[in-house]
Amino acid sequence: MAVGIVPFGLIVGITAEPVVGSAHAVFMSAVIVAGASQLSTIQLLTDDATWVIILMTAMVINVRFLLYSASLEPHLRRTTRIARFAMSFFLVDQIYALSLSSFTNHPNRRHAAWYYWGLVTPVFTVWMSSSVMGVVLGARVPDSWGLGFAVPLVFIALVFPAITDKATRASALVAAIVGILAFSLPFNLFLPVAALSGIAVGMSVEARNA
Amino acid sequence: MPDALLIVLIALGTFALRASFIAILGENGVPKRLRRGLRFVPAAVLPALFINQIVRTDGQINLASPQFPAALVALVIAARTRSILWTIVTGLVAQAVFMKVL
C-alpha cells in the first residue's frame, strides 16, 4: 500500500535538494505533503518563475483535495473540529483512496477516525523517510546522471490515470498543444493558459456528448 | 521571495483545500458546476507541466535531445503499466542510453 509512495518521496527529495537545499527539501515534504505540487514547485523554481505562478500552479494541482475533503466529510463528521483539522493535514491521495473504500464498505462510523489515523501513520512515515533518503541521495548523485528528468517523468506517469474518457483525453491533448504554443508568454503564464484551455475543451466535449 | 516563505504559503493553501469541507464548510458539498470543471484539472494540468520539459532544451524546441525520445518511451510505458516506478526507471534508463547515442 505505502510502497507506491517510495519512488515519489525519493524523487521529491532527490530533485529538491539541489534547488532549495537539504533543510528546505525535507521541510517541504513535511509541511506540504503533496508530491506532485512539490515537483511543480521545484521545476518552476529552476525556471525562475515568479512566486505567483509557482503558488497558483501548486494550488491548481492540489485542488483535487477539495473534492477529497467533500467526499470524506460525511464519514468524519462525528469527531471534534480540532481532530478534523488534524486529519485534513494528512489527506493525501493514498489515504483518501484507502479510507474512502473502507468507509463505504464498512459504514461503522464510530471507528472511522481511528481507521484514518491507522492509515496516516505508515503512509506519512514512509513518505518522510523516503523524502529524507532522496535528499541524502540528491546531495551525492552527480548532475550528469540527469535525475532532474524524473520530474516530467512523474507527471507523465500521473497523466494516464487521469485520462478516463474522450473528454479528459481531449482536455490533455489541448493542454499539451497550447502549452507548447503559449510557452513564450511572460511569467510562465503558459501554464494557467494551457490548463484552462484544456479544462474548457474537456467540458465542452463532455457537454456535446451528454 | 525566500524559499521558506513560498513553501509555507503553498503548505497553508494546500491545508486549506484539504480542510475545506472536512473541518471548515461542513456538509454543503461541492457545487455541481464546480465539480464538473474540477474533474478535468489533472488531465489538463499535467501535460501543461511536462510538455515543454520534453520538447524544449533551454527554452528552444529541440526534438534531437536525449529527453525527447526518452519521454516517448516513458509515455508508452506509462500508458501500458500506469506505474510511477516503471515510468521513472525506463525513462531515466532511456535518457542515459540516448545521451550516449545522440
Q: What is the 3-state secondary structure (H, E, C) of chain A?
A: CHHHHHHHHHHHHHHHHHHHCHHHHHHHHHHCCCHHHHHHHHHHHHCCCCHHHHHHHHHHHHCHHHHHHHHHHHHHCCCCHHHHHHHHHCCCHHHHHHHHHHHHHCCCHHHHHHHHHHHHHHHHHHHHHHHHHHHHHHHHCCHHHCHHHHHHHHHHHHHHHHCCCHHHHHHHHHHHHHHHHCCCCHHHCHHHHHHHHHHHHHHHHHHHHC
User: Which residues of chain B have a CB within 8 Å of the CB of A68?
Assistant: 18
In sequence order, which residues have a C-beta less than 8 Å from that of residue B96 and are 6 or more positions away? A145, A146
Q: How many CB pairs under 8 A join A and B?
A: 259
The residue with cell 513535511 is A30
pLDDT band at B79 (very low <50, low <70, confident <90, very high): very high
**Mutation for B interface: A12, A91, A153, most B CBs within 10 A:** A153
| Nearest-angstrom CA–CA distance, A28 and A33 | 7
Length of chain B, in residues: 102
Question: Which 125-184 residues of chain A touch chain B by CB within 8 A?
Answer: 145-147, 149-163, 167-169, 171-176, 178-180, 183
Q: What digits encode the pLDDT tens for the residues A55-77? A: 999 999 898 898 889 888 888 88
| Contact between residue A37 and residue B14 where contact means Cβ atoms under 8 Å apart | yes
Please compute, for residue A82, the number of CA atoms within 13 A of its CA located in the half-sphere on the CB side.
0
Q: Do A7 and B6 touch (CB under 8 A)?
A: no
Does the pLDDT value for residue A1 go beyond 60? no
Q: What is the percentage of chain B residues whose pLDDT exceeds 70? A: 96
- End-to-end Cα separation, chain B, in angstroms: 39
B57 φ, ψ (degrees, to nearest 5) = -125, 125
The pLDDT value given to residue A178: 98
The pLDDT value given to residue A108: 65
Q: Do B47 and A157 touch (CB under 8 A)?
A: no
Q: What digits encode the pLDDT tens for the residues A163-199? A: 999 999 999 999 999 999 999 998 788 988 999 999 9
The residue with cell 471548515 is B24
| Nearest-angstrom CA–CA distance, A15 and A207 | 40
pTM value is: 0.84
Q: What digits encode the pLDDT tens for the residues B31-59? A: 777 778 888 988 999 999 899 999 999 88
B72 touching chain A per CB within 8 A: no
Which of A75, A109, A85, A36 lies closest to B12 in space, CA to CA? A85
Closest CB from A43, A62, A73 relative to B26: A73
B38's enclosing H/E stretch is helix B32-38
The pLDDT value given to residue A98: 82
Does the pLDDT value for residue A2 go beyond 70? no
Q: Interface pTM (ipTM) of the complex?
A: 0.90
| Nearest-angstrom CA–CA distance, A202 and A199 | 5
Measure CA B71 to chain center: 13
| Contact between residue B10 and residue A41 where contact means Cβ atoms under 8 Å apart | yes
Q: Do A54 and B19 touch (CB under 8 A)?
A: no
